[in-house]
C-alpha cells in the first residue's frame, strides 16, 4: 500500500494561493476570471479539481490582430542592436528572480507540481535569460576562404520574423522562456498560445516580460499571448505572417502542426513525445541507479516529456533491483503537492487517469504483471481531482503497449541478457527524446552513447533534469527540434551567404567564363 496524504487544501486556500501569486506578478485574479463559460477558458486546479473561474478567450480576429501587431513591431525591433535587445531579457530574468515564489505558486496550482519542482521550472526561465543575454553579443557568422582572388565569402545571420509558440500544461512556463529569450535577442517578436490548462502561469510570466519591455523603453508589441484552445492555436499554424512555429506537445499534435505549417513553407520547431528508457547494467551502483530511476519515473506524477517509462535491467540483478524499486515506490507520499514530504501530486485530469487505466489493462492483457500501484487515492476527499499510485509493471518483453507513451506514472520493466540487446530495445520505439544507462563499465558507457538514438543520452543519471547549457530535443517522432543551449539560437534567425568582390575584376566561380 502506497502511503498517501489524507488532507488536501480547501478550495478557498487554493484560490488564495492563486490570488497571491498573480498579485505578485501584477495581476488580479477576479479581473482575469470574470469571463463566462460561453466564450471563456476554464480555469481549474488539478489539486482539488474545482474551478477558479473563466478567462475571456481570444477569437480568430483578435488573434490575427495580435499577429499583425507583432509583425509591425518586427520592423523596428529587428533594427534594435542585439545587445540592447538583450537588456530586455536581462531585466526579465531579474524580475523572474524577484517573483520566483509568486510564479512558482501558480505553476503548483495549475500543473500540480511540488514547490521544489515548480521553483525549478522558474529557475530554468532565469537560466535561459542568462544564456540569452550572453548570446545577444555572439550572434556570429563565419568568414570563409574564397576561391576567387580579392573576394570575401561570409555567412551572416539576420532576424527571422514573428515566432509563434504553442506550449503544454506539464511545463507551463519554461519552454516559453526557452523560445522567447532567444527569439527576443535574435530580433523576433513572439506570439504565445499557452496551454489552456495552465493559463494563469502563462499570464504571470507574460506580465513580467511586458514589464521588462516597459522598463527598458521598448515596444510591448514585441510580445503577445493568445488565450484559448485549439482553434486559437490553429491561427498561428495558418497565418503566413508567422515565420516559425515552435510547438511542444504530443506526437499526434505534431503530425498536424508539421504538415500544416510546411504547406505554407513556414518553419517548425517541434518538441513532441518521449518514451524514455534506462538500462541498469550488472556493474551499476544500484543505490545511485535506484534514486535516478524512482525520481525519473514517478516525479511530476509521470507527466514530464523526459519521464522514465521503460527500464531494462540485466537478468542477473533484475529480481533484486526491481524489488528495491517497488519498495521505494511504496514509500512515496501522494497528495497536495504543497504538503510536507509529498513527492507525487495529481494527474492533470480525468483524461490522464483514464489513459493510465487503459494502458495498465493492455499491459496485463499482453502478459505484464502489475507489481505495485495503478490505483486512485484521495477520491473521497477530492472527487474531481485524480491522484494515483505510481505503477511498476514487469513485462515479458517490449510489447505493443510498451512502445506507446502514456502520460502517467507507469514504469515498464523488461529483463535483458546482452548489452547490445538492451541498446536495441532502447532504440526500438518511434520516440527518441531521452535515455540513460547506469554502469561502471567504461566500455558499456561509450557504446551506449554511440548507440542510443535519442537526442539526450546520459550516463549514471536519470532521463529527466536537463540543463539550459545543453541543447534540448529529440529525434524520430519526438520532432527533431532543439531548444536552449549551443547553437539553438540559429532556429530563430535566417542565414545568408554573402560574397564581397573588391578585386575590380569579375571572375566567376568554378572558373566559368561568360564574356
* Active-site option among 25, 129, 305, 372: 305
Grid cell 542592436 — which residue?
A: 81
Tell me how far the alpha carbon of residue 468 is from its chain's centroid.
12
d(CA 71, CA 85): 17
DSSP class of residue 58 equals P
Tell me how far the alpha carbon of residue 324 is from its chain's centroid.
30
Q: Is the dihedral of CA 184, 190, 194, 199 positive or negative?
A: positive
Q: Is the dihedral of CA 360, 364, 368, 374 positive or negative?
A: positive
**Are the beta carbons of 122 and 100 closer than 8 angstroms?**
yes
- The strand pairing partners of 268, in sequence order, are 245
* Active-site option among 234, 271, 405, 477: 271
Query: Does the annotation count 271 as an active-site position?
Result: yes
Distances (CA, A) of 59 to 78, 189, 239, 397, 421: 28, 20, 14, 48, 52
Instruction: Report how far apart the first and last C-alpha atoms of the chain are (Å, whole number).
Output: 87
**Are the beta carbons of 348 and 171 closer than 8 angstroms?**
no
**DSSP of 151-180, one letter per residue?**
EEEEEEEEE--EEEEE--SSSSSHHHHHHH
Grid cell 523560445 — which residue?
A: 179
d(CA 28, CA 11): 18
Distances (CA, A) of 355 to 86, 303, 359, 424: 43, 12, 6, 27
Residues with Cβ within 8 Å of 135's Cβ and at least 6 positions away in sequence, in order, are 86, 182, 185, 489
- Strands 308-314, 276-280: pairing is parallel
**Are the beta carbons of 286 and 313 closer than 8 angstroms?**
no
Q: Which three cell numbers stand for residue 433?
A: 527524446
Query: Does the annotation count 483 as an active-site position?
Result: no
Residues labelled catalytic: 271, 305
Amino acid at each position: 500500500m502506497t502511503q498517501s496524504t489524507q488532507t488536501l487544501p480547501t478550495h478557498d486556500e487554493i484560490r488564495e494561493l492563486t490570488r497571491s501569486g498573480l498579485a505578485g506578478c501584477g495581476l488580479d485574479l477576479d479581473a482575469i476570471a470574470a469571463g463566462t463559460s460561453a466564450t471563456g477558458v476554464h480555469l481549474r486546479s488539478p489539486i482539488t479539481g474545482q474551478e477558479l473561474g473563466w478567462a475571456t478567450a481570444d477569437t480568430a480576429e483578435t488573434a490575427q490582430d495580435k499577429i499583425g501587431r507583432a509583425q509591425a513591431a518586427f520592423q523596428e525591433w529587428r533594427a534594435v542592436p542585439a545587445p540592447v535587445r538583450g537588456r530586455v531579457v536581462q531585466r526579465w530574468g531579474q524580475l523572474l528572480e524577484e517573483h520566483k515564489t509568486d510564479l512558482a505558486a501558480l505553476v503548483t496550482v495549475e500543473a500540480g507540481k511540488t514547490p521544489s519542482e515548480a521553483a525549478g521550472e522558474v529557475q530554468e526561465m532565469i537560466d535561459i535569460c542568462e544564456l540569452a543575454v550572453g548570446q545577444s553579443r555572439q550572434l556570429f557568422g563565419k568568414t570563409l576562404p574564397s576561391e576567387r582572388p580579392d573576394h570575401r565569402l561570409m555567412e551572416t545571420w539576420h532576424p527571422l520574423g514573428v515566432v509563434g509558440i504553442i506550449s503544454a500544461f506539464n511545463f507551463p512556463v519554461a519552454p516559453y522562456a526557452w523560445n522567447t529569450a532567444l527569439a527576443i535577442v535574435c530580433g523576433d517578436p513572439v506570439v504565445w498560445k499557452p496551454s489552456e490548462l495552465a493559463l494563469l502561469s502563462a499570464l504571470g510570466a507574460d506580465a513580467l516580460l511586458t514589464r521588462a519591455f516597459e522598463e527598458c523603453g521598448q515596444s510591448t508589441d514585441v510580445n503577445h499571448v493568445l488565450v484559448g484552445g485549439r482553434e486559437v492555436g490553429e491561427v498561428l499554424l495558418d497565418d503566413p505572417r508567422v515565420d516559425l512555429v515552435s510547438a511542444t506537445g504530443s506526437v499526434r499534435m505534431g503530425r498536424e502542426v508539421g504538415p500544416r505549417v510546411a504547406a505554407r513553407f513556414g518553419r517548425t520547431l517541434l518538441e513532441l513525445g518521449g518514451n524514455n528508457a534506462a538500462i541498469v547494467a550488472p556493474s551499476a551502483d544500484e543505490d545511485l541507479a535506484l534514486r535516478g530511476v524512482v525520481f525519473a519515473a514517478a516525479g511530476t506524477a509521470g507527466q514530464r516529456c523526459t519521464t522514465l517509462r521503460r527500464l531494462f535491467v540485466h537478468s542477473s540483478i533484475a529480481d533484486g533491483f526491481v524489488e528495491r524499486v517497488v519498495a521505494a515506490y511504496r514509500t512515496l507520499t501522494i497528495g497536495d503537492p504543497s504538503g510536507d514530504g509529498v513527492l507525487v501530486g495529481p494527474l492533470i485530469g480525468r483524461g490522464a487517469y483514464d489513459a493510465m487505466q487503459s494502458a495498465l489493462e493492455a499491459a496485463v492483457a499482453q502478459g505484464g504483471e502489475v507489481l505495485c500501484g495503478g490505483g486512485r487515492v484521495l477520491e473521497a476527499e477530492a472527487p474531481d481531482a485524480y491522484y494515483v499510485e505510481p505503477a511498476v509493471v514487469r513485462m515479458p518483453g517490449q510489447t505493443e503497449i510498451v512502445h506507446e507513451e502514456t502520460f502517467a506514472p507507469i514504469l515498464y520493466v523488461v529483463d535483458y541478457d546482452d548489452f547490445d540487446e538492451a541498446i536495441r530495445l532502447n532504440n526500438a520505439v518511434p520516440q527518441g527524446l531521452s535515455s540513460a544507462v547506469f554502469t561502471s563499465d567504461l566500455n558499456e558507457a561509450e557504446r551506449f552513447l554511440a548507440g542510443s538514438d535519442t537526442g539526450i543520452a546520459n550516463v549514471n543519471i536519470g532521463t529527466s533534469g536537463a540543463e539550459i547549457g545543453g541543447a534540448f530535443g529529440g529525434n524520430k517522432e519526438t520532432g527533431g527540434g532543439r531548444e536552449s543551449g549551443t547553437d539553438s539560437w540559429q532556429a530563430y534567425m535566417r542565414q545568408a551567404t554573402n560574397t564581397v568582390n573588391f578585386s575590380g575584376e569579375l571572375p566567376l566561380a568554378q572558373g566559368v567564363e561568360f564574356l
